[in-house]
Amino acid sequence: MQAKDGGICRIKLPCGRLAAEQAERIAHASQQHAGGVIEATNRGNLQIRGIHAGREDALIGELLDAGLGPSTPGADDVRNLMVSPAAGLDPQALVDISPLATELLATLENTPRLHALSPKFALLLDGGERLAMLEHPHDIWLSALPLDDGIGYAFGLAGCPPVSADDAPALAIVPQAEAHTLIIILLDLFLELAAPEQTRMRHLLETHAPAELLQRLQARLGNALLPMNDWRRIPAHANAHLGIHEQHQPGLVHIGASPALGRLAAEQLLSLTALARRYGDGSLRLTPWQSVLLPNIPEAAADAVIHSLHALGLLTDASAPLTRIIACTGASGCAKGLADTKADALRLAERLPAGSEQPGIHLSGCSRSCAAAHRAPFTLLAVAEGRYDLFARQPLGSGFGQLLGHHLTPDEAAALLASLTATRSFTR
């Protein structure tokens, strides 16, 4: 993919996981073939920016040699599966979702008919973790819940697991043993019923009611489905992707850190891999908050790791304003950007109050909103260089929400946001 600042190479990571050796290969490749800039994405992946003209094939070859491509040609686009970065670690989880995720990814990659799915068609497997992204809409989602005889999965289409009373409920429940089969049947139903222009599940639901799809699903799955009640998912912890958190494995913690605005220098990534090797299990996990998680750190080493992360310029405290701001590449790297969103975001962060309960803010260089998979409580939409319209998310509205301010500088936006958040509470 080409951008104003050079080529972009997106690297999909299975379940957001990355071995230290692979991370080192990414860092070295970005230095050799690009500008040494690596970005964490809002789906727990990485991308290399600023690839030099004529170096694309060499870069891709090195990444494939590192085992960072799909198992079969043409399968990269279907590897859109999100799980918690703390899957297998989180003490609140009802089940370790990792084996199901691994099985599902293998099926997606090795089943040619599924390669017809849109590159944006996305799946969520939720094990009930405390650390979970529940606000990104997915075409198909499954969320673990306890049953009298074990674990099942509530599931739904074109949405998110319900948390509040106003959220759309799940369609039904499937026993744990039938979860993989259920997903494949749903994917097949989508491919059979969707018109060429219906690339996402929400498009199919405009012409086929959920009740109809559920009936078709039951006909293929037999009597495995259980009726849905008023189940609601336990809320996730808003800041569990940052700092030190206990694992269910005794004596171990995972530690989360955020690079400023999701952007890592190659040297930072190399230093992270050194920390993972020295203190952890030699792996990293990327998160949908554009941050990094180091798993399996001994409790006794946690403070030393935090100190090292701070020395690298990474953020581990959710009260820091930069941890709640996301910004697209902006005019410095994208031809569609109307403002230098990254620079303006840094300026904005300097003027915002600290606090872990402060709301999330999204700076978007244009109306496409590429950097955010869901609407943030506040959006600053660029309208000119250094000027933004400020919107507040509305519970039932569409678009960016209610317009609160027009043609604001970052300083003016910070002042208005500070006054608004002083008297209101928000979810990030």
pLDDT per position as a tens digit, 32-50: 999 999 999 999 999 999 9
Distance of CA 182 to CAs 57, 121, 147, 187, 345, Å?
A: 38, 16, 18, 9, 43
| pLDDT for 1 | 64
Determine how many CB atoms are found less than 10 A away from the CB of residue 190.
25
| pLDDT for 241 | 98
Give the pairing type, strands 283-286 and 17-19. Answer: antiparallel
Instruction: Identify the three-state secondary structure at position 277.
Output: helix
Q: Which helix (H) or strand (E) holds 192?
A: helix 179-193
Q: What stretches in the chain show pLDDT beneath 70?
A: 1-5, 396-398, 423-428
| pLDDT for 421 | 81
Q: Which helix (H) or strand (E) holds 297?
A: strand 292-298
Q: Give the contacts of 94 (CB within 8 A, at least 6 positions apart).
A: 127, 128, 144, 145, 146, 151
| pLDDT for 423 | 64
Instruction: Identify the three-state secondary structure at position 413.
Output: helix
| pLDDT for 223 | 82
Domains contained in the chain, CATH given: 2-71+255-315 (3.90.480.10), 94-127+134-221 (3.30.413.10), 322-421 (3.30.413.10)
Q: What is the pTM of this model?
A: 0.93
Instruction: Spell 26-40 as b/e; 16+ CB within 10 A means b.
Output: bbbbbbebbbbbbbb
